[in-house]
Structure 1
């Protein structure tokens, strides 16, 4: 009975202790926390809000890139403003960004030394209690207890899995350990107490680079980062093992990397269906935010096998053609961001493949980052009357040489059984 009473006492006390610790951390760190606002110059109103935290005594503040992305892309349209814990406002200048890891460093003008956050020297251990700070839904600064659950396994670029509420407006806020040291930065949520953080090591790297040399321009810095990341991604894909896998009577590739996830479906449960259909989809479950209407860095692959033994060839071709028309670019962009697609058509039978196909390769250029392209490839088999394989991929934000290397590998990896 005594042991049971002790256990009940501990369970009852833990939430109280956590709340008291959270209150103490918030009281200690509040002077170094800010709401970050993007102000539209023409209207004078807020365009977006987020959170930020001071990382040096002379006024450097860390936040998310997506909080200030409008200014990074259109500095004449916006200004960046802060609101401190006393309700005082001021203007911020943009010093550096990491568009891949969604980080930015801004600066306020200060006359006196100010308190700032310390960046942790080590990574948390799994299960360690952490505290997320930020400004959810423009309601004022809060602190939310949560748990460190390690890195998200399927990410190409590291993200911390945090069990705790990361709500809109908390983006860019710090996540600290019990010693009030920053171990991550709020970046995204999947709801149901599933949050994601940028590891603090990414901020340390950006900060150290800024101390050595400020970027010549934010746009040039972003361009360099986007190019380096896409090259790293394509190199990882091309150097990985591509394995042949059956899709009904076809062979399709799977790429042995943890960050590409695949799903499948078919209508095999319907023996009377006019067309047997089997589909496999594979994709990179993340993308790079450039602006609210422009995302890049995504990869999608889709394979659709169709078998129409009960249809005449003309009817089958009509249905087949409808499936082909479904293909489209895998990322989000507007005409202000990209050029029109330019396409090349051909009949091909790649080396190591047993399929004759009609193929279409389309590319469109990024207007602000002209070395980068979106690529869309579509191949439909033309050598069987009542069987077909449609192979499709999209790459977002790649250089031409990388796109051609991936296309060649993809084309050579499909075959009939």
Structure 2
């Protein structure tokens, strides 16, 4: 059988070169193996459910009429920036320590507002960290302004209802942090309520002096917290009022590529970017996300990353224009480090009498297994799913920077070859790759039959989706099925979001080389 190409709208040359390079194949026709079920066809369409669903945007949207919005497209247990779908605002009594810390830091707390045409588009929280009026918040709180500065503007509001404009100096999308500065020394955004401009500006200057007189400070790196210590999260949940939430430090999240603090406390929408303080009032973390379908499971960015951002960019000029080039540079550096670390790890494998399947190490991925009972009639199936549980937030419609692997092993010996071939083909055909959207192109795919030296004959499909505004970044999907048996088979899927073409090639090769015989033949 000659090579088959699956394209959408135009040539899939990029995906084809990727698969050829990954496999080291000559360009030309390749013969399909004589044995095995008929090759199923692949039909890329809009996804039913992606391996890792994109988290919802962290800033709380402006209130709208009608019932509360349901968080869309979320995989169970995926941490979501600043959102807690089933977690009500904490109502436990506030301790004396919490009251003391809130009273002491109240003047440094801010609500960070993103406005569009004078109306509130989203809100988060932030806090003052310098006498010059520098403010720390989450990148996702200000992402709309960062990517569309001509459409949005940034303002702050204090617990006393005063406010002004903010400037964006820098951001760290990888750690979900942004560095802002109060604009013009706290000059009032606009006179309101008949107040004259000079009077409004004088009031704003007084507000700025109060905020910057005693900025919050970061806890020293040589003073690590102990598991079980009480810490205090602050912010403005649901745009209701500034609040303090007392919780527990539980160390760092296991199997996370970048460090995240596990905080037993309620972080609600609108608190993203707020500070988390220790008993001495020093910053230990920044509110960033919470686990949906869970209680009191939240996550913080370690304060050291915010301190580093302040140190390197405190004298920076405000960013001008859309931040896509800066964002691209950060994502390129991140995917290079992530890919290099992933490629350095050897594959684990599932126990099977015939095949070895590539299962990733659980260093920064989490794996689950499922399958049919051993005494089940008909098709026997075992599934292993592994994925990174934290993605990088880019915009309300785009998250990236994560890998996932799924392996399904089928035994159709109780069905016979014809019935097994129908089911096996259907499983392959049901894989979804997504369609074109505002952020990415349609998937361009290349399909080949491959015979590796020490492994079973495979059918491999490699697909790429290019990022429209982040040149040189792609989403990679590799689908693999073996075609050497009429009643047994395996279906594998590898996903890498936001990688360069060079790393997509390396990752494809690495994944395919994980398929082998259990016993050399």
Same fold (TM > 0.5) = yes
CA 1:137–1:317: 2 relative to 1, 3 Å: same
SS in structure 1 of the partner of residue 314 of structure 2: helix
Q: Does 1:347 align with 2:452?
A: no
Structure 1 match to 2:169: 95
Q: Following the alignment from structure 2 to structure 1, what is the Cα–Cα distance between the partners of residues 364 and 484?
A: 34
How far apart are residue 249 of structure 1 and its match?
Answer: 4.0
Q: Does 1:71 align with 2:145?
A: yes
CA 1:404–1:216: 2 relative to 1, 3 Å: farther
SS in structure 2 of the partner of residue 244 of structure 1: coil
Preserved CA contact (<8 Å) 1:176 1:183: yes
How far apart are residue 132 of structure 1 and its match?
Answer: 0.8
How far apart are residue 171 of structure 1 and its match?
Answer: 0.6
Q: Does 1:295 align with 2:369?
A: no
Q: Following the alignment from structure 1 to structure 2, what is the Cα–Cα distance between the partners of residues 313 and 262?
A: 31
Q: Following the alignment from structure 2 to structure 1, what is the Cα–Cα distance between the partners of residues 352 and 371?
A: 10
Preserved CA contact (<8 Å) 1:33 1:84: yes
Q: Following the alignment from structure 2 to structure 1, what is the Cα–Cα distance between the partners of residues 244 and 436?
A: 37
How far apart are residue 314 of structure 1 and its match?
Answer: 3.0
Structure 2 match to 1:198: 301
Q: Does 1:169 align with 2:270?
A: yes
Structure 1 match to 2:460: 359
How far apart are residue 177 of structure 1 and its match?
Answer: 1.0
CA 1:334–1:100: 2 relative to 1, 3 Å: farther
Write out per-residue CA displacement over residues 155-185 of structure 1, whole angstroms, 9 at most, x where no aligned residue: 1111001111111111100001111111100
Structure 1 match to 2:411: 307
How far apart are residue 212 of structure 1 and its match?
Answer: 6.1
After the TM superposition, which residues 379-390 of structure 1 pair with which residues of structure 2 at under 5 Å, given as runs? Answer: 379-390=480-491
Q: Following the alignment from structure 1 to structure 2, what is the Cα–Cα distance between the partners of residues 142 and 323?
A: 50
Q: Does 1:57 align with 2:160?
A: no
Relative to the length of structure 1, the TM-score reads: 0.90
Q: Following the alignment from structure 1 to structure 2, what is the Cα–Cα distance between the partners of residues 270 and 390?
A: 22
Preserved CA contact (<8 Å) 1:352 1:413: no
Match of 1:125 among 226, 232, 244: 226
CA 1:168–1:154: 2 relative to 1, 3 Å: same
Q: Following the alignment from structure 2 to structure 1, what is the Cα–Cα distance between the partners of residues 513 and 391?
A: 26
SS in structure 2 of the partner of residue 72 of structure 1: helix
Q: Following the alignment from structure 1 to structure 2, what is the Cα–Cα distance between the partners of residues 212 and 389?
A: 56
Preserved CA contact (<8 Å) 1:240 1:257: no
SS in structure 2 of the partner of residue 94 of structure 1: strand
Q: Does 1:21 align with 2:120?
A: no
Q: Following the alignment from structure 2 to structure 1, what is the Cα–Cα distance between the partners of residues 435 and 166?
A: 28
Relative to the length of structure 2, the TM-score reads: 0.72
Q: Following the alignment from structure 2 to structure 1, what is the Cα–Cα distance between the partners of residues 405 and 453?
A: 20
Kindly indicate which of the two structures has a greater share of residues assigned to strand: 1
Preserved CA contact (<8 Å) 2:136 2:180: yes
CA 1:211–1:334: 2 relative to 1, 3 Å: farther
Structure 2 match to 1:231: 336
Q: Following the alignment from structure 1 to structure 2, what is the Cα–Cα distance between the partners of residues 254 and 360?
A: 19
Q: Following the alignment from structure 1 to structure 2, what is the Cα–Cα distance between the partners of residues 220 and 399?
A: 15
Structure 1 match to 2:348: 243
Preserved CA contact (<8 Å) 1:293 1:334: no
Preserved CA contact (<8 Å) 1:345 1:359: yes
Structure 1 match to 2:87: none
Structure 1 match to 2:426: 322
Structure 2 match to 1:3: none
SS in structure 1 of the partner of residue 511 of structure 2: helix
Structure 2 match to 1:38: 114
Q: Following the alignment from structure 2 to structure 1, what is the Cα–Cα distance between the partners of residues 359 and 423?
A: 27
SS in structure 2 of the partner of residue 230 of structure 1: helix
Q: Does 1:134 align with 2:235?
A: yes
Q: Following the alignment from structure 2 to structure 1, what is the Cα–Cα distance between the partners of residues 177 and 376?
A: 53
Q: CA RMSD in A?
A: 2.0
Structure 1 match to 2:470: 369
Structure 1 match to 2:368: 263
Structure 2 match to 1:11: none
SS in structure 2 of the partner of residue 290 of structure 1: strand
- Structure 1: segments with no counterpart, 5+ residues: 1-14
Q: Does 1:187 align with 2:288?
A: yes
Q: Does 1:105 align with 2:179?
A: yes
CA 1:363–1:21: 2 relative to 1, 3 Å: same
Preserved CA contact (<8 Å) 1:247 1:278: no
Preserved CA contact (<8 Å) 1:60 1:106: yes
Q: Following the alignment from structure 1 to structure 2, what is the Cα–Cα distance between the partners of residues 267 and 255?
A: 22
